[in-house]
Chain A
Amino acid sequence: MNIRKNAFYKAWFKDAWPYVTGAILLSIFQIVTLATTGNPWGVSGVLAYWGAWIFELFGGSVDKWYYFASDGAQNTLNNGILQHGGSIRNIGIIIGALFSSLAACQFKIKKIKAIRQVVAAILGGLLMGYGARIGFGCNIGALYSGIASLSVSGWVYAVFLFLGAYVGSKLLVKFFM
Chain B
Amino acid sequence: MAEYELDCFGEACPIPLVKAEKELEKMNVGDILIVAIDHSCAMKNVPEWARKQGHNVELDEIDDGEWEVVIEKMK
Contacts and interface: CB of A to CB of B under 8 A. Distances in A.
Interface of A: 16, 101, 105-108, 110-113, 117, 169, 172-173, 176-177
A113 B38 CA distance: 12
Tell me the interface secondary structure of chain A in the complex.
loop
B64 to A, nearest CB: 5
Nearest to A109: B65
Tell me the interface secondary structure of chain B in the complex.
loop
B18 interface: yes
Contacts of B49: none
A169 B14 CA distance: 9
B15 A172 contact: yes
A59 to B, nearest CB: 37
- A101, A108, A169, A177 — which one has the most chain B CB atoms within 10 A of its CB? A108
Interface residues of B, number: 16
Nearest to A16: B44
A16 B61 CA distance: 14
Contacts of A106: 40, 64-65
A177 B65 contact: no
A105 B64 contact: yes
Interface string B15-39: 1001100100000000000000011
B60 interface: no
